Amino acid sequence: MMRLALGSLRRHRGAYLGTFLAAFLAVALLAGAGLLLFSVLTAKPPADRFAATAVVLSGDREVTLQTVRKKKDKVKTKTKSERLTGAGTLPVDLAGRIAAVPGVADAVADYAFPVAFPVRGEDGAPVVGHGWASAALTPYTLEQGRPPAAGEVVVDADLAARGGLSTGDQVPITTRTGVRTLRVSGVAAPAGRDGLPAQGAVFLADREVPAVSGLAGPTAIGVLAAPGADRAALAAAVRAVAGDATLLTGADKVRGDLPGALPDYIGPISIFGFTIGITAFAAVFVLTGTVALGVRQRLRELALLRTAGATPGQLRRLLGLESVVLAAVAAVPAMPLGVVVARVVAARFRALGAVPAQFTVGVNVLVLGGAAAAGVLVTFVAARIAGRRAVRIAPTQALVETATAPRGGLLVRVLAALVTAGGAVAVLSFVPLGGPLGMGMSFVSSALLLCAVAALGPVLVRALTAVVGRLTRVAGVTGWLAGTVARVESRRVAAVAVPLVLMFAVNATMLLNSSLLGRLTADEHAARNAPATGQVTGPAGLPLDAVGDLAALPGVTGAAATLPTRAIVAQGGKPEDHPSQGLFLAGREAAIDLGVREGRIGGDDTFAASSYLVRQYGWRVGDEVPIWLADGYQVTLRLAAVYERSRGFGDMALPARLVAAHDPRGLVAAVALRYDGDVASRIRERWPALRVTPTAEAVRAGDAQNQQGAWELMVVISLGFTAIAVVNTFAIATAARRREYADLRLAGATAGQVHRMVTGEAAITVAVGLLLGAAVAGIVVGAFSTAQDGVFRLIVDPVTYAGMLAGVAALGMVAGALPIRLVLRRRALPAVADGR
Residue 487 CB-density burial (10 A; 0-12 exposed, 13-18 middle, 19+ buried): buried
The rounded distance, in Å, linking the Cα atoms of 428 and 442 is: 7
Nearer to another protein, 115 or 744 (CB): 744
Within 10 A of 377 (CB to CB), how many other CB atoms are there? Answer: 14
**Residue 751 CB, nearest distance to another protein (Å)?**
6
Give the residue among 619, 656, 617, 661 at the shortest CA–CA distance from 638: 619
Interior/surface letters 58-67, b for 16+ CB within 10 angstroms, e for the rest: bbbbbbebee
Angle at 329 between CA 324 and CA 333, to 5 degrees: 140
- Which residue, 465 or 533, is less far from another protein as judged by CB? 465
Shortest Å distance, C-beta 740 to another protein: 7
Q: Are residues 443 and 277 in contact, defined by beta-carbon separation less than 8 angstroms?
A: yes
> Quick one: 492 or 566, whose CB is closer to another protein?
492
From CA 661, how far away is CA 213, in angstroms rounded? 10
Q: Which long-range contacts (CB under 8 A, 24 or more apart) does 10-14 make?
A: 12/298, 12/301, 14/735
Report, in Å, the least distance between residue 490 CB and another protein. 10
* Cα–Cα distance list, 819 to 23, 500, 735, 824 (Å): 21, 17, 8, 9
Question: CB of 730: closest distance to another protein in angstroms?
Answer: 18
CB of 739 to another protein, least distance (A): 9
Residues whose CB falls within 8 Å of the CB of residue 19, separated by 6 or more in sequence, listed in order: 290, 291, 294, 323, 326, 379
- Distance (Å, whole) CA 362 – CA 519: 37
Instruction: Please state the closest distance from residue 748 (CB atom) to another protein, in A.
Output: 3
Residues, the chain, total? Answer: 836
Q: Which residues face 181 on adjacent strands?
A: 172
Q: How far is the CB of 308 from another protein (least distance, A)?
A: 19
Footprint on this chain of another protein (rule: CB under 8 A):
400-402, 404, 476-477, 480-481, 484-485, 488-489, 740, 742-753, 826-827, 829-830, 832-833
Question: To the nearest whole angstrom, how small is the minimum distance from the Cβ of residue 12 to another protein?
Answer: 20
DSSP string, 38-52: HHHHTPPPS--TTTT
Q: Which is nearer to another protein, 609 or 751 (CB)?
A: 751
Degrees to nearest 5, angle at CA 792 with 787 and 793:
110
User: Which of residues 478 and 509 has its CB atom nearest to another protein in the complex?
Assistant: 478
Compute the half-sphere exposure of residue 246: CA atoms within 13 Å on the CB side of its CA.
19
CB of 478 to another protein, least distance (A): 8
| Whole-number Cα distances in Å, 578 to 34, 310, 338 | 28, 63, 35
Nearer to another protein, 143 or 740 (CB): 740
- As measured in angstroms, the least distance from the Cβ of 746 to another protein is 5
The nearest distance, CB 732 to another protein, in angstroms, is 18
Q: Which is nearer to another protein, 411 or 747 (CB)?
A: 747
Give 634's contacts (C-beta < 8 A, 6+ positions apart). Answer: 626, 627, 628
Residue 665's nearest CA partner among 544, 535, 577 is 544
For another protein, the closer of residues 389 and 684 by Cβ is 389
Where do runs of H (alpha helix) occur along 216-308? 231-242, 266-296, 299-307
In the complex, the smallest distance separating the C-beta of residue 744 from another protein, rounded to whole angstroms, is 7
User: Can you spell out the DSSP letters for 662-677?
Assistant: HSSS--B-EEEEEE-S
Strand (E) or helix (H) holding 490? helix 490-529
Least distance in Å: CB of 488 to another protein?
4
Tell me which amino acid residue 550 is.
L
Spatial separation of the C-alpha atoms in residues 450 and 461, rounded to whole Å: 14
Taken in order 408, 412, 415, 419, the sign of the CA dihedral is: negative
Q: Which is nearer to another protein, 699 or 833 (CB)?
A: 833
What's the rounded Cα separation, in Å, for the pair 801 and 662?
A: 45
Smaller CB separation from another protein, 399 or 806: 399
Our CB check for another protein shows the closer of 480 and 617 to be 480
192: alpha, beta or left? (left if phi > 0; alpha if psi -120 to 50) = left
> Residue 117 belongs to what H/E stretch?
none
- Rank residues 466 and 477 by Cβ distance to another protein and give the closer one: 477
Residue 343 Cβ vs another protein, minimum distance, rounded to whole Å: 47
Residue 827 Cβ, how far from another protein at the closest point, in Å? 6
Residue with Cβ nearer another protein (461 or 639): 461
Q: Which is nearer to another protein, 63 or 493 (CB)?
A: 493
CB of 824 to another protein, least distance (A): 10
State how far the Cα of 694 lies from the Cα of 696, in Å rounded to an integer.
Answer: 5
Helices (H) and strands (E) in the chain, counts: 22, 23
